Amino acid sequence: MERQQIIRKILDHKIVAVIRMEDANKLLNVVDAIYKGGVDIIEITMTVPGAINLIEKTAEKFGDSVLIGVGSVLKKETAQDAINAGAKFVVSPIFKEEIIDLVHKNNLPAFPGCFTPTEIYKAYESGAEIIKVFPADILGMQFIKAVKAPIPEINLMPTGGVTLSNIKDWIQAGACAVGIGTALLDKTAIKENNYQLLTENAQKALENLKNIN
């Protein structure tokens, strides 16, 4: 899948599951659970132990059925390692132009993390297809709406503060997609191997997207 196809899928599906967990041995089960619930775009963060190896294993198991990206990327070398392992998009908590350049050289999209309108526009000028608004729970939905008013062409994806029940609200405020972690990937459920709950959470998330005006 090439760069524009990847972006199109994210804009169409609108939900990126952000996986940040301590027990790496359960990651494939987690991906399988939310995939069964209909969420097939995931971001494996570099804070997961052995993240690069897990990206490779996930890519081998799910192939094109699941769109796999890497998150929490702080260095271009990390981005390249993840891409080599099978990551199809790269997400950062920060805006770093050299990471965007490296990812684009691999014909893949980069989503830098930004907090201010100036950062957002600089990232946009650097070619970032989607800007991760982070941490979005501090900025709120009104921030998305306010920034989109003068710069409607920018794609903003909030991460932080997204729940199963407010995804639709974020999209209606102007977000092109959302990154959702804890609310979708219940830590207690994972600890107790209750993967059915994760499947149900994924279904609820998708249900919340229905009937968007």
Q: Which residues are catalytic?
A: 43, 132
Q: How distant, in Å, are the alpha carbons of 76, 116, 126, 141 from that of 135?
A: 22, 11, 21, 12
Q: Which helix or strand (DSSP H or E) is residue 131 part of?
A: strand 131-133
CA-wise closest residue to 178 among 190, 168, 192, 191? 168
Question: What is the DSSP pairing of strand 15-19 with strand 90-91?
Answer: unpaired
The answer for residues whose C-beta is within 8 angstroms of residue 125's C-beta and 6 or more apart is: none
